[in-house]
């Protein structure tokens, strides 16, 4: 039985992989805390190369799902440490994750030949640096093989996009890039897990002379964002409106809503509006200006505006992603 170490086992993809792989693989979790007491666990930091090397002893492969959304630079450090430790522990194969967002999405199709995205978005830059770190390390360690999977928008119950869509269900106005007509390249988390399993069981020949298997992972039927929200979450199309393509061109107060993404500020403003004490705490602002600010923020429709960055880039996509070749 193949012995597989998993980082990030408490995350969305990692937890689904563990459930699917437990019956056919010898699974061992690595990290700061155990997400599942039924699965063997070793507490270790991804900053500790020696500790990782000891933890990986006897493992055949590593599925690297650990993710630090707060520090893109840290991802590359973790990857470099993991490659070094895997080499020291004689691990044969590492599966890691990039994203389809590193490709330019202005054309009709995204595939392995598509040029890089030029957007200066930290998440995209971090994933690109992660890939370079892994491939550079691979050239130093001739006994390692790397599977680098690049999923599209990973969806499933309780995933981040599922939570986002459920928030929209109670929102009267949704301001979407491209009026919701951007291509929604979805991939079910089960499809991503299947890709991991196939990479773990693939023969050595599937990795070629370069010892790397790189593949985009998506499902076959892309739809628009408006169609996805309507079909899967029951959100009427007439709630969706086009947002300004210049994200910071509107008023300062509206941009406050944009920057926090979800309109919790609207609820706060409603409470302030009903409490003169709340308004009185801001003596620097004249009474009429405070009333005007509250009126504008406490819109009954609670609009949700997709801010500049990865979400806007993803939701404005006009390209259809083509699956990569997996064994």
Terminal C-alpha separation, the chain:
19
pLDDT at 206 over 50: yes
**Of the ranges 90-104, 109-123, 238-252, 253-267, which is most confident?**
90-104
pLDDT at residue 87 in the model:
97
Q: Where are the domains of the chain?
A: 3-155+184-226
pLDDT at residue 266 in the model:
40
pLDDT at residue 264 in the model:
42
* pTM, full prediction: 0.82
pLDDT at residue 302 in the model:
52
Mean pLDDT of the chain: 82
Q: Which tens digits make up the pLDDT trace of 10-55?
A: 999 999 999 999 999 999 999 988 888 889 999 999 999 999 999 9
Q: Which helix (H) or strand (E) holds 152?
A: none
pLDDT at residue 220 in the model:
73
- DSSP characters for 209-224? TTTEEEEEE--S--EE
pLDDT at residue 280 in the model:
34
CA angle 81, 83, 84 (to 5 degrees): 65
User: What are the backbone angles phi and psi of residue 199, rounded to the nearest 5°?
Assistant: -70, -35
- CATH superfamily, with its number, for domain 3-155+184-226: NAD(P)-binding Rossmann-like Domain (3.40.50.720)
Q: Which tens digits make up the pLDDT trace of 129-175?
A: 999 999 999 999 999 999 999 999 999 998 989 988 888 887 777 87
pLDDT at residue 180 in the model:
87
Top pLDDT among 82 and 222 is at 82
pLDDT at 298 over 80: no
pLDDT at 244 over 60: no
pLDDT at residue 250 in the model:
38
Question: What size, in residues, is the chain?
Answer: 327
Top pLDDT among 175 and 103 is at 103
CB atoms within 10 A of CB 209: 6
pLDDT at 106 over 50: yes
Structure tokens at 53: 């090397």
Confidence band of 306 (pLDDT split at 50, 70, 90): low
């Amino acid at each position: 039985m193949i012995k597989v170490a998993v980082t990030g086992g408490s995350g969305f993809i990692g937890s689904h992989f563990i459930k699917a792989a437990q019956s056919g693989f010898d699974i061992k979790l690595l990290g700061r805390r155990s997400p599942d007491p039924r699965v063997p666990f070793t507490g270790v930091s991804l900053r500790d190369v020696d500790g990782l090397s000891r933890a990986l002893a006897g493992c055949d492969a590593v599925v690297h799902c650990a993710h630090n959304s707060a520090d893109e630079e840290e991802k590359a450090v973790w990857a470099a440490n993991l490659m070094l430790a895997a080499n020291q522990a004689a691990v044969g194969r590492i599966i890691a994750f990039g994203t389809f967002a590193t490709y330019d999405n202005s054309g009709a199709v995204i595939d392995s030949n598509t040029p890089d995205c030029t957007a200066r978005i930290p998440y995209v830059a971090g994933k690109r640096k992660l890939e370079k770190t892994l491939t550079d390390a691979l050239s130093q360690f001739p006994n390692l093989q790397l599977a680098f999977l690049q999923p599209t928008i990973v969806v499933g119950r309780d995933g981040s996009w599922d939570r986002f869509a459920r928030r929209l269900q109670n929102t009267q106005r949704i301001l979407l890039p491209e009026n919701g007509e951007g291509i929604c390249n979805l991939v079910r988390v089960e499809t991503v897990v299947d890709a991991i399993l196939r990479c773990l069981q693939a023969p050595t020949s599937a990795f070629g002379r370069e010892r790397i298997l790189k593949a985009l992972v998506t499902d076959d039927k892309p739809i628009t964002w408006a169609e996805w929200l309507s079909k899967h979450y029951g959100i009427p199309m007439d709630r969706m409106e086009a947002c300004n393509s210049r994200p910071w061109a509107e008023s300062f107060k509206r941009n406050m809503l944009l920057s926090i993404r979800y309109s919790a500020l609207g609820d706060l403003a409603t409470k302030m509006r009903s409490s003169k004490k709340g308004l009185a705490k801001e003596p620097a602002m004249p009474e009429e200006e405070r009333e005007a600010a509250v009126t504008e923020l406490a819109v009954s429709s609670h609009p949700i505006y997709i801010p500049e960055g990865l979400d806007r880039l993803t939701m404005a996509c006009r390209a259809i992603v083509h699956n990569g070749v997996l064994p």
